[in-house]
Amino acid sequence: MSATGTCLLGKASPQECEFYSVPLFSTEKRSQDTRAYSTERTFHSGSELGTVDALEISSGSYAHVVGLVGPYNAGKTCFLLSLYLMASRQLLAESYLFRRSLTLQGFEDRAHRLREWPGGPLPEKLADHTILADDRRPGFVHLGLLRHGEPIDLLLSDLPGEWTTSLMNRADTAERWEFLKRADGIIVVFDGKELTGKERFVQVIGAQHLFQRFKETLGIPTDIPLVILVSKADEIEMKRPEILDEIEHSAIGLGFSPTVILCASFSRKPEVVANGQGVMSAIEHIVQHSDESYVDWRKLAPSPADDSQRPFRMFKFLS
Amino acid sequence: MISKTFEWYRTVSPTPSSQAVEARTKAAEELIGEISAQDKHVALALAQGVACEFDGSGSEAATFEWLLRKLKLKDPAVSENLSENQLEVRSIAAITLGELLFKSEPEGLAVLAASGLVSAMTSRPLPKERYLRAMLEELSHLAIELIEKTAETRRKRSILSPLKLTVPDLPSAQKAIQQLQTQITELEQNAAMDREEISLFWFMATGFSTKKGKPFSALPVSVAAVHAALDVGRCVLAPAPLNCFEILTSIVESKRKLEDCDAIALKDQFVHWSADEWEAISGADSLDEQLALKFPVVFPITWIANRMREAQLQPNWTECKKMTRLRGEAKLTASAIARQLLSEKLAVSIAGETIG
C-alpha cells in the first residue's frame, strides 16, 4: 500500500485493509515541495472507473455524474462513443474542447469495431455488448472537456442493458443503481426503431416501471434533469415516434420533467442527418440545467412562529 | 453541519462509503472542538473557501493546512496535492462551517463566519453543479438564520426595573452600584437601538447624501449605490436584519427611471466612480483594506475600490476575476452593488468586534 497505493488484498480503500496503519507526520517537518507528492497514487486499467477510482477526479474538482440507462441494444455505448469521437476529433460545438480522459483505453476498446469499419453501409452492430470488469459494481467512463475555457468533468455510466431490464423487473436489483441518487442527470435511451415497431407497447410498460423504480425504489428527486433519448433516430427520419407521448407522460405523471431528444450517434444517412446529432444536446441539458441565479436571502430567512413578538426594529413593516 | 456529512460529501464521491462518511464526521467533530483555538480569521477563510474554493493563497494557508491535516489523519487516502484534493477540502470545510453556524458556538466566530458567507454569496451566482449548489443553498440558509436571530436579539429592548436605593451598609451599596452599572449598560444599548431607528428614518425621509451634498436621486445610480450603502452601514447595528437591505434598495432606486435600475455589466458599474467613492469605501491602512486584501472573495467591492484607489483607474478585470472570482461581464444592478457593499461593511464591523 505504501509503495503503490493499491491494497494487495484487493480492498477498495486503505481504511478497509486491516494491515494499513495511519502514517503520523509533523506539519513542521513538511516542506513546501512535498505538497505535490502523493503517496496514494493509484493505478487502474483505463478501461473504466469504479466509484472509488472516480475519486481520483472528483476529489479535485466537481464531476458531473450522468446515468445512462436503457435496455440491451438501445444505443447507450454508441452514444458514449459518438461523444468521445466528436471530442477527440474536435467536432463538438466551438465552445467545447477535449481536455483529458482517464478511460481512453476504455473508449478505444469500445470503438474498435468502428475503427475497423472498411466503409460502405454501417454494420448493424457498431459496439460490443458492454461487459463490466466487476459485474457487481457500476463502471464509468470519464471525459474531461473545456467549456468556454472552464474545465468540466463527466463521469458517464456504461452498464449492460440487462441491468436496466432487471431494474424494471425486480426492485431488489436497485441497490447497484445507488449511484443515480448522486447523478447530475439521467439519460434514458430507447431504440427509435423499437418505438415504432411491433414491440412498442412493451417499451412503454418497461419505461413506466423504470420511472417508478427511479422515484419509489431509488428515491431519486423528481427535479433531476431527465432526458428521454430516442436513439437511431436517423433510421426513423428524425420523426418523433407517436408512442413517445405515453412514455413522456408516464414520467410527467410521477413528477419528473423529462426532455425528449432525438439522437443519431452514428448516422446511416450522414448527408441528411449529421453524425452525433442530439448527443451534445443531451449532455448540455444536464450540465446547463440550472439557470444563473443568486441566493434568495428573503426566501431563506426564517419567520418567527409568532410575528407579533418581533421587535419593530427589525423593520419588517417596511419590506 | 455534521448531520449533513453524507449529503455534502456526495459533492465529492458519487457513492460515499460508510467509512469515508465516518472519517469526515470524526474530522469535523475534532475541527469544531479546536476552532476556538484557531486564529479568528479562520471564520472568513472558511467562508471564502466554501463559497468559491481554496486557491492556495497565503491568507487561507493556515486554515487549509488545518483542515487537510485533520482530514488526512482520519482518511490517509486524501491527496496532498491541491489540484487533487480541492473539493475534498472544500467539502470538509463546508461541514465544519455548517456545524459552526448550526451550533452558533463560539457565538462571535459563528456570526463572523455567517456574515462572511452572506457577503461572499450576495453577488455571486450559485454554481450550476447540482450538489454543490444544494450545499451552498443550505449553508446560506444556516447563515441568514443565524444573522437574523442575532440581529433580533441585539434589537430587543431591555426593560429597566426601578432600583431600591436604600443602602444601609457597604455590601448593599456595592450591590446597588452593580445594578446601576448593569442598567447604565442596558440604557446605552437601548439608546443605540433608538439611534439606529432614528438615523434610518432620517436617512429614508431625506434621501440625501451628506458626503456628496445632493439627494441620492440626483447622483448617477452607481454612485448613489456606494454612498447609500455606506450611510446605511454607519446607521445600523451589526448584524443588520434583511429589511435594512430593502430600505437601501428603495433609496437607491427611488425617483429613477426603470431603465436606470437595469442590470449592467459589473465593470460598467464603476465608470462614474471617483476618489470620493473608492476613498470612502476603503481608506489606506484601514481594516477594510486589510480584510479585502486577505479575503477578496468575501469583500469583492472593497477589493475593487482598493485597486482603484491605488491605480486611480478601473482595475484589471483579469486580475479581478482571479482574485474576487466575479466576472466583469456579470450583470448586476446598482442596488445589488449597494447590497453587496453593505454586506461587506457589516462583515468588517463584526470582524472588528471579533478579531479586534
Q: Assess whether B150 and B7 both reside in one domain.
A: yes
Cell readout for B11 is: 459533492
> What band does A309 get if pLDDT is binned at 50, 70 and 90?
low
The reply to whether A163 falls in a domain is yes
* Helical pair B130-154 and B82-103, crossing angle rounded to 10 deg: 30
Q: Assess whether B7 and B97 both reside in one domain.
A: yes
Supply the pLDDT for residue A28.
Answer: 39
**Cross-strand partners of A154:** A64, A143
Q: Assess whether A165 and A78 both reside in one domain.
A: yes
- E strand or H helix that includes residue B38: none
Percent pLDDT > 90 in chain B is 65
- Length of chain B (residues): 356
Supply the pLDDT for residue B236.
Answer: 93
Q: Is B130 on the interface with A (CB under 8 A)?
A: yes
Averaged pLDDT for residues A244-254: 94
Range of the domain at A158: 55-287
Q: Assess whether B127 and B211 both reside in one domain.
A: no
> What band does B56 get if pLDDT is binned at 50, 70 and 90?
confident
Instruction: Identify all chain B residues contacting A318, using CB atoms and an 8 Å cutoff.
Output: 243, 246-247, 250
- CB B126 to CB A61 under 8 A? no
Q: Is A155 on the interface with B (CB under 8 A)?
A: yes
The reply to whether B184 falls in a domain is no
Q: Assess whether A87 and A38 both reside in one domain.
A: no
Q: Check whether A312 has a pLDDT greater than 70.
A: no
> What band does A17 get if pLDDT is binned at 50, 70 and 90?
low
Q: Assess whether A98 and A119 both reside in one domain.
A: yes
Q: Assess whether A176 and A39 both reside in one domain.
A: no
Which residues fall within 8 angstroms of residue A59, CB to CB, at 6 or more apart?
B12, B78, B79, B84, B85, B86, B87, B88
> What band does A272 get if pLDDT is binned at 50, 70 and 90?
confident
Instruction: Identify all chain B residues contacting A182, using CB atoms and an 8 Å cutoff.
Output: 10, 13-15, 131
Q: How many domains does chain A have?
A: 2
- Nearest C-alpha neighbor of B121 from the set B102, B100, B94: B94
Sequential DSSP letters for B248-268: HHHHHHTTS-GGGGS-EEGGG
Q: Assess whether A36 and A60 both reside in one domain.
A: no
Q: Decide: helix, strand or coil at residue A98.
A: strand
- The strand order across the sheet containing A96-100 reads A96-100, A140-147, A150-157, A63-69, A185-191, A226-231, A258-262
User: Angle A91-A92-A97 (CA atoms, 0-180°, nearest 5)?
Assistant: 105
- pLDDT one-digit tens code per residue, B2-13: 889 999 999 999
Supply the pLDDT for residue B227.
Answer: 96
Supply the pLDDT for residue A302.
Answer: 76
At which of B115, B132, B154 does a domain end? B154
The reply to whether A313 falls in a domain is no
Supply the pLDDT for residue B293.
Answer: 94
Mean pLDDT (chain B, rounded): 91
Q: Decide: helix, strand or coil at residue A143.
A: strand
The reply to whether B199 falls in a domain is no
| Residue where the block lists cell 456545524 | B99
- CB A14 to CB B149 under 8 A? no
Q: Assess whether A145 and A232 both reside in one domain.
A: yes
The reply to whether B162 falls in a domain is no
> What band does A41 get if pLDDT is binned at 50, 70 and 90?
very low
Supply the pLDDT for residue A27.
Answer: 39
**Which range is least confidently modeled, A305-314, B165-174, B298-307?**
A305-314
List C-alpha distances in Å: B171 to A317, B168, B174, B185, B246.
47, 9, 5, 21, 51
> What band does A221 get if pLDDT is binned at 50, 70 and 90?
very high
At which of B116, B135, B154 does a domain end? B154
User: Angle B338-B344-B348 (CA atoms, 0-180°, nearest 5)?
Assistant: 145
Question: In whole angstroms, what is the distance from residue A215 CA to residue B353 CA?
Answer: 50
CATH number at residue A175: 3.40.50.300
Q: Is A288 on the interface with B (CB under 8 A)?
A: yes
Q: Assess whether A68 and A20 both reside in one domain.
A: no
Question: In whole angstroms, what is the distance from residue B247 CA to residue B242 CA?
Answer: 9
Q: Is B62 on the interface with A (CB under 8 A)?
A: no
Q: Is A316 exposed, middle or buried (0-12, 13-18, 19+ CB in 10 A)?
A: middle
> What band does B240 get if pLDDT is binned at 50, 70 and 90?
very high
Q: Assess whether B133 and B225 both reside in one domain.
A: no
Whether this model's pTM surpasses 0.95: no
The reply to whether A50 falls in a domain is no
> What band does A154 get if pLDDT is binned at 50, 70 and 90?
very high
The reply to whether B200 falls in a domain is no
Highest mean pLDDT (candidates A228-242, A281-295, B148-162, B333-347)? B333-347
The reply to whether A260 falls in a domain is yes
- pLDDT one-digit tens code per residue, B251-266: 999 888 888 889 999 9
- CA quadruple A7, A11, A13, A14: dihedral sign: negative
Q: Is B73 on the interface with A (CB under 8 A)?
A: yes
Q: Assess whether B215 and B327 both reside in one domain.
A: yes
The reply to whether B196 falls in a domain is no
Supply the pLDDT for residue A304.
Answer: 62
Q: Assess whether B250 and B348 both reside in one domain.
A: yes
Q: Assess whether B119 and B10 both reside in one domain.
A: yes
Q: Assess whether A16 and A72 both reside in one domain.
A: no
Supply the pLDDT for residue B171.
Answer: 86
- E strand or H helix that includes residue A96: strand A96-100
Q: A304 or B250: whose pLDDT is higher?
A: B250
Range of the domain at B228: 207-355
Q: Check whether A31 has a pLDDT greater than 70.
A: no
Q: Check whether B250 has a pLDDT greater than 80.
A: yes
Ramachandran angles phi, psi of B56, nearest 5°: 85, 10
Percent pLDDT > 70 in chain A is 73
- pLDDT one-digit tens code per residue, B209-225: 988 999 999 999 999 99
Q: Check whether B29 has a pLDDT greater than 80.
A: yes
Asked if A279 and A263 touch (Cβ cutoff 8 Å), the reply is yes
The reply to whether A229 falls in a domain is yes
The reply to whether A312 falls in a domain is no
- CB B73 to CB A293 under 8 A? no
List C-alpha distances in Å: B196 to A312, B189, B190, B290.
12, 11, 10, 27
Instruction: Identify all chain B residues contacting A40, using CB atoms and an 8 Å cutoff.
Output: 76-79
Q: Assess whether B225 and B349 both reside in one domain.
A: yes
Q: Assess whether A141 and A23 both reside in one domain.
A: no
Instruction: Identify all chain A residues contacting B15, using CB atoms and an 8 Å cutoff.
Output: 51, 178-179, 182
Q: B210 or A44: whose pLDDT is higher?
A: B210
At which of B154, B177, B199 does a domain end? B154
Averaged pLDDT for residues A139-147: 91
Which residues fall within 8 angstroms of residue B331, CB to CB, at 6 or more apart?
B263, B264, B265, B266
Q: Is B119 on the interface with A (CB under 8 A)?
A: no
- CB B14 to CB A16 under 8 A? no
The reply to whether B28 falls in a domain is yes
Q: Is B245 on the interface with A (CB under 8 A)?
A: yes
Q: Check whether A124 has a pLDDT greater than 70.
A: no
Averaged pLDDT for residues A303-310: 59
Which residues fall within 8 angstroms of residue B180, CB to CB, at 6 or more apart?
B163
The reply to whether A298 falls in a domain is no
> What band does A176 get if pLDDT is binned at 50, 70 and 90?
confident
Instruction: Identify all chain A residues contacting B118, using CB atoms and an 8 Å cutoff.
Output: 297
Q: Assess whether B150 and B212 both reside in one domain.
A: no
Q: Assess whether A124 and A239 both reside in one domain.
A: yes
- CB A60 to CB B85 under 8 A? yes
- Length of chain A (residues): 319
Q: Please tell me which of the candidates B87, B128, B200 has its beta carbon nearest to residue A59.
A: B87
Instruction: Identify all chain B residues contacting A178, using CB atoms and an 8 Å cutoff.
Output: 15
Q: Assess whether A226 and A124 both reside in one domain.
A: yes
Q: Check whether B115 has a pLDDT greater than 80.
A: yes
Q: Decide: helix, strand or coil at residue A64.
A: strand
> What band does A259 get if pLDDT is binned at 50, 70 and 90?
very high
Supply the pLDDT for residue A316.
Answer: 56
Averaged pLDDT for residues B24-30: 95
Q: Assess whether B89 and B224 both reside in one domain.
A: no
> What band does A34 get if pLDDT is binned at 50, 70 and 90?
very low
The reply to whether B131 falls in a domain is yes
Q: Decide: helix, strand or coil at residue A231.
A: strand
The reply to whether A236 falls in a domain is yes
Q: Assess whether A14 and A155 both reside in one domain.
A: no
The reply to whether B175 falls in a domain is no
Cell readout for A290 is: 440550472
Q: How many domains does chain B have?
A: 2
Averaged pLDDT for residues A300-310: 64
Supply the pLDDT for residue B134.
Answer: 94
